[in-house]
Amino acid sequence: MKRPIAHRALAGLAFALLALAGCKDRTGEAAAAASTPITPSLIPAPVDLQTSAGTFAIDGDTRLFAEGDAATRVAQQFSAYLQSAGAPALKTTREDGKGLIRFVLEAAGAEGTGPEAYTLDVTPDGITVKAHDERGLFYGAVTLWQLVTQGDKGRVTLPALHIEDAPRFTWRGFMLDPARHFQQVEDVKKVIDAMALHKLNTLHWHLTDDQGWRIEIKQYPKLTGIGGCRIPAGDGGKDPKTGEPRPYCGFYTQDQIRDVVKYAAERHITVVPEINVPGHATAAISAYPELGSIDTPLVPSNEWGVFPNLVNVEEPTITFLENVLGEVVQLFPGTYVHIGGDEAVKDQWEASAREQARMRQVGAKTEMDLQGYLVERLEKYLSTHGKRLIGWDEILEAKLPPEATVMSWRGIEGGLQAARQGHDVVMSPSNKTYLDYLQTASPNEPPGRPALITLQDVYGFEPVPAELEESQRHHILGIQANLWTEHTRTFARLQHNAFPRLAAVAETGWTPAAKKDLASFIARLPTQLKRYDAIGLGYAKTPFEPLIATEDNRKAGTAKVTLSNPLDYPVHYTTDGSEPTQTSPTFAAPLDVKLPATVRAAAFADGRALAPASTFELTPAAMLTRTDEAMGVCPDAGRLLLRLEDDGPLEGERAIFNATIFYPCWQWNQADLDGIASIKVRAGRIPYYFQLAHDEPNRNFEPAKSPLGELEILGGGCKGHTLATVALPAAPNADGFLDLEAALPAGTTGKQDLCVRFTGDTRPQMWVLDRITLQPR
């Protein structure tokens, strides 16, 4: 029912008065907070920070002073970044003096001072940021931005301090993969801004792969016209209204590339393009079949993994690649061009009479030598254009041109070998710096590879191996984190996967090894989260949420509850359903609770919850149910556990399942079967969209005993005895799920490892577990 206009006006006036009163209170609080000097909390930690007596207060009236174009640009960027964090943009003044923030570009630095070095001084008379290169001045501005954002909307009191700072490594990188899932230009720019505010300086852009070619090449328009589109697997590739195929497309025009490169350069980030050959080339061969090593027509793939498709190494193909690189080098002014070189299984070359003849022609004794010949040709071409070739560590398996740089991803061994051979190296090991791996064991993690790479794992990685000789250590250029996007369908998930782990990469890349300290980093992280919130960066909440583990005593109607946090922040909790606060009990020892119970918990630091409180409803029924995330995997079958997303609906949220694709099974360890009559299983079905190359023989499944296969439940683990078998239907229900119930044999009692598996080949579709419920008698 609508209210009369007069009433709405009075209500609006009352609201305005209340708002003004609230603003007055908040302003007073902000002023009080601003009068207390902050304790600097910076990421990455600077080389040296010394505080002294005195303070300097900053508010919206503080002025910026800069002379010269470069210093003025940095001052303007500083002001813009403050504004992006909710503070007023600070104005500039042409008159030097006291009470100012001064950006000073000096003619020359001390001997041995790098271009990214700076000093920052805060005194009662003002602030001065100095450097002898615009890059260093910019990083000094980033440090000052971090200090100011510790206040409230640009109001802060800083202690008098002196910072001398410079990065440890010259390569501090992040790899973005638009080939699997595409990021729009505006999202790429958001990534660049976030990188700049972490003092990262290299964006590795993975522009081509089996699933898509993402860069416009004017001489070869089919690369994007055909290679830029694929039909996603299952329902994700169908129009829900018509059932017709719906392609997934995307590429960057050359004008967009120039725009992104310019935007990055303004923030002192170099963009390194990757054109991957000879493998990961399905999209390119789909567009121009003459590039391939076999005559079978291809399409850009909707599957993930390692593919057999290689470009051939004949002269017309090398000319094609040189023409592509000829356009690429005009778009990217940086030193490096990445040519991939990874996961190029040689089956097609081994089976091709043409490639075998080509090997003899160029003097290649092995197929890897043939890849080495291709790398050598591309290196020579790039060098004539003033560029340096960089590739994944597989390029070391053949003779490598001396000028080539190696990106070590299969651990650090490739980096060690390369450095000892005199090659420059970027360390990027998959077990420490791959950000598509899950970061916590929380069921709230998005799809990805469940082998955990925690924030602690990332922070603990040391890019310079202890065993590397001192004389070769200068070859380690730095560190890079990679974010592959097979399972990262949205930009929100990309941000979740990247942050805050990229902050740990940034500190490793910048801060001297002797200055790194995990406890200090974790203590500084809550302040960094406030900055993320201020600029709208969608970081992962899961490292800051509580986890719960329960052990039920069914007979007593109780449960033992253990609460924890992945980063060991204190967890405060309630058991009466109320919101936990800083004054709520701190979890210290397992709790015995009477069922049903509601436990609410949150991790706290600096007096505030780091993520919204989690609510755990504990009931007798809930104790009898486990989701797939809470299930184990069969010990002999857990080689490749993935957290997979359903193929539909086309838009919006989809179901997520943990599954082992080499041998799909799930195990409830030590399930208490006393008093249990039957087991109910809720299952889904998703496309099997994986290419495993030489790992394909390791894919196993239990043969089906009937045309459509069975659900099998075993006691004693996946090699134990069969407790129940239920025939599977042809398809799940309309909602994509299926509920199956299996009666247990009479006399089934005690605790045992309960295994759930589905028989039959997993291709082209595989059944996956959603949850399992023990049903009492």
User: From CA 126, how far away is CA 104, in angstroms rounded?
Assistant: 13
List C-alpha distances in Å: 271 to 328, 407, 737.
Answer: 12, 15, 44
Q: Which of 194, 103, 96, 200 is nearest to 144 (CA)?
A: 103
Is the preceding peptide bond at 178 cis, omega within 30 degrees of 0? no
| 602, 614 Cβ separation under 8 angstroms | yes
Residue 702: count other Cβ atoms within 10 Å of its Cβ.
17
List 59, 67, 152, 343, catalytic entry: 343
Residue 569 half-sphere exposure toward CB, CA atoms < 13 A = 28
List 133, 177, 209, 445, catalytic entry: 209
| 500, 539 Cβ separation under 8 angstroms | yes
User: From CA 248, how far away is CA 197, in angstroms rounded?
Assistant: 32
User: From CA 81, how far away is CA 194, in angstroms rounded?
Assistant: 11
Q: Which residue has the tokens 């002014």?
A: 333
Could you write out the DSSP letters of every residue in 395-435? GGGS---TT-EEEE-SSSHHHHHHHHTT--EEE--HHHHBT
List C-alpha distances in Å: 766 to 171, 644, 687.
Answer: 42, 11, 6
Residue 645 annotated as catalytic: no
Residue 280 annotated as catalytic: yes
Coil, strand or helix at 547: strand
User: Which two tokens mark 55?
Assistant: 């303070």
User: From CA 344, how far away is CA 371, in angstroms rounded?
Assistant: 9
User: From CA 752, how far away is CA 718, in angstroms rounded?
Assistant: 11
Q: Which residue has the tokens 């121009």?
A: 288
Describe the strand order of the beta sheet including 558-564 as a list of residue ranges.
Answer: 547-553, 558-564, 591-594
Q: Rg of the chain over CA atoms, in angstroms?
A: 29
User: From CA 65, how far away is CA 561, in angstroms rounded?
Assistant: 58
User: From CA 90, how far away is CA 156, in angstroms rounded?
Assistant: 14
| 185, 256 Cβ separation under 8 angstroms | yes
Residue 198 annotated as catalytic: no
Q: Which residue has the tokens 């890059």?
A: 135
Which phi and psi (to 5°) does residue 367 adopt?
-65, -35
Residue 472 half-sphere exposure toward CB, CA atoms < 13 A = 17
Q: Which of 408, 415, 405, 523 is nearest to 459 (CA)?
A: 523
- Which residues, other chains included, contact 58 with Cβ-Cβ below 8 Å and sequence gap of 6+? 101, 127, 148, 151, 154, 155, 156, 157, 158
List 132, 198, 280, 423, catalytic entry: 280
User: From CA 738, how far away is CA 767, in angstroms rounded?
Assistant: 10
Q: Which of 110, 93, 113 is nearest to 102 (CA)?
A: 93
The set of catalytic residues is 209, 280, 343
